[in-house]
Amino acid sequence: MTTLLGLRAPSAGPMKRTRQIARVLAGHGLESVADLAGLRRFIPRFRPRARAAAPLTQAERVRVALGELGATFIKLGQMLSTRADLLPADLIAELSKLQDAAPAVPFSDIERVVAEEMRRLAVPPFLSFERTPIASASIGQVHAAVLLDGTPVIVKVRRPGVVEQVERDLEILRGIVDWMQVHTPLGRDYELRELAEEFAYTIRGELDYVREAQNATRLRLAFEGDRRVWIPRVYEEYSTERMLTEERVSGVKISDLATLDRLGISRRAVAENAVQIFLREILEFGFFHADPHPGNFFVQPDGSLAIVDFGMVGRINEETHRHLLRAVLAAARQDAEELAEEMYALGVAGRSAQRAAFQRDLDHLMGCFAGRTLRDLSAASVTGEIVGIAFRHKLQLPSGLALLLRVVNMSEGIGLSLDPEFRYLEYAGPIFERSWRKRRGFRATATRAGQAAAEAAELGLDLPRRVTRLLARVERGEIALNVAHQGIENLTQEFQRMTNRLALSVILGASVVALGLAVGIRHVPELAPIVGWLLRLGLLFSLVFGASVLWGIWRSERR
């Protein structure tokens, strides 16, 4: 069902939630955001005046409103905080402060979920289960427990009803995005539907603890034998979609600098270790921990790191690897043309993109960095400048690349918090070069050449059959050509206005001819009264249509 405004009307279930969203936005003075989302009609006409509070910026009000709206919108804000290519810097800074915290669920509800999930086991697995949670977030709640063999574990339990809440909110968001795609400049410039689908996939992944368990196990196996990192073991036999059981992590939080100093642990070594881990995930595994905030890293006595929380991960395929490395090397060589080429190859695109202007701005940026060494630059400043240029040119980064850039900045922030003299790019530069040389080495090149040859041979054998099928579909009329026109709507509207004016002119001319004929037969006595009335009506008709034609021509000339 679609309204006159074009916004898909929510079904009976989400209608109440839609009104609540609109009221929260209006309550925080965000009517402009409600207008952008097509929610103005859901704001009550008469509502109590908001209580006086300390003045906040619009970006701060957006952050507070999203936090008030719950799990889906907190996660949405956190995801949008990675999209400096779509949103202004002040809003990005505020969204980055969103904390995923929520009041604790009563223990009786948690106990019921655990009992339902463990019902398939002959013997309950827990020797003890702490009633007071260690942490409570909008999606899940974490409790400490002990297995029957005495192993300390943590158990993450999904909040009852959160899946239904998220799915209802996602339905509303789909309607909002559909409306914005048609009615707003933001929707016309960017592929918001693709962004919404990516967000839906991500948040559903965080709701499914089986997927999180698989992410943790994958990284644990990848780092096997590396003493610099410890990934907690997941007890899959005690884990389900609603409950995750894994080893309890000990150690010092990476942000607790005083304790690190007291224990004599080198902060510089920890910073280098964190960067090594992250770069290995990117360059070697193509699979990385995408939420590297300090609360997820615990330093062990030997300086190694334990990492937790694998609900959010990023992936990079081999092709993206190659273009990413080439982009980094192009930036290091200050080659703006090559950098622009690689960014487009990475999927950076926009409906109104002007490549020449984009490359010119990159060239100017490279000039600003000329003569400066890697020690003088920070990853945050470089990526921030490049993404800022993309924002000005309305270029949209692929979701995976935007997430990667955010993680780079966060990992650099961890390094600087540990050691203010730590230079991320200076330390990471040689690692990137070694990775690039390895990927261009004889063995890697021979492997790619062999794969390409095999694919070419397979394509050659399969090509005649594919061409035959294609021609058959063309003959049957099963193939349709879709052409996307840019700006044709304005041309169509102008053509329709011209056609309307032409039609009015023809009617006006016909009216004048009819009046002339009526004057010719007015002298017939029997028809004189009727002809008189027809002349009056015809004159009025001609005046109205003539005025309409003149008004339309005058407005057209004014435009």
Tens digit of each residue's pLDDT (9 = 90 or more) over 502-512: 666 666 666 66
pLDDT of residue 260: 93
Catalytic residue among 291, 309, 335, 462: 291
pLDDT of residue 119: 86
Catalytic residue at 100? no
pLDDT of residue 187: 82
pLDDT of residue 241: 93
Give the Cβ contact number of residue 355 at 10 Å.
Answer: 14
| Cβ burial, residue 63 (10 Å; 0-12/13-18/19+) | buried
**Within 13 Å, how many C-alpha atoms sit on residue 197's CB side?**
6
Average pLDDT per 10 consecutive residues for the chain, totaling 559 residues: 41 77 90 88 68 74 92 90 84 86 89 90 86 91 94 94 93 92 84 88 91 94 92 93 93 92 93 91 90 88 92 86 82 82 79 75 81 74 82 81 85 89 84 76 59 65 75 70 55 63 64 61 58 66 67 56
pLDDT of residue 524: 54
Measuring CA to CA, how many Å separate 37 from each of 56, 60, 174, 175, 260?
A: 21, 18, 11, 9, 47
pLDDT of residue 397: 82
Q: How far apart are CA 404 and CA 85, in angstroms?
A: 13
pLDDT of residue 1: 38
Q: What angle do CA 446, 447, 451 make, to 5 degrees?
A: 115
Q: Residues 546, 510: contact at Cβ < 8 Å?
A: no
CATH of 107-158+208-314, one of 2.30.40.10, 3.40.50.1100, 1.10.510.10, 3.90.870.10: 1.10.510.10
Q: For 379-395, write each residue's pLDDT tens digit.
A: 888 888 888 888 888 78
pLDDT of residue 7: 44
Give residue 421's Cα distance to chain centre.
33
Strands 305-307 and 229-230: parallel
Measuring CA to CA, how many Å separate 275 from each of 278, 305, 406, 552?
A: 5, 11, 14, 67
H helical segments located in 118-161: none
Task: Map out the domains of the chain as residue ranges.
Answer: 12-102+165-202, 107-158+208-314, 316-440, 494-558
Q: How far apart are CA 154 and CA 120, in angstroms?
A: 20
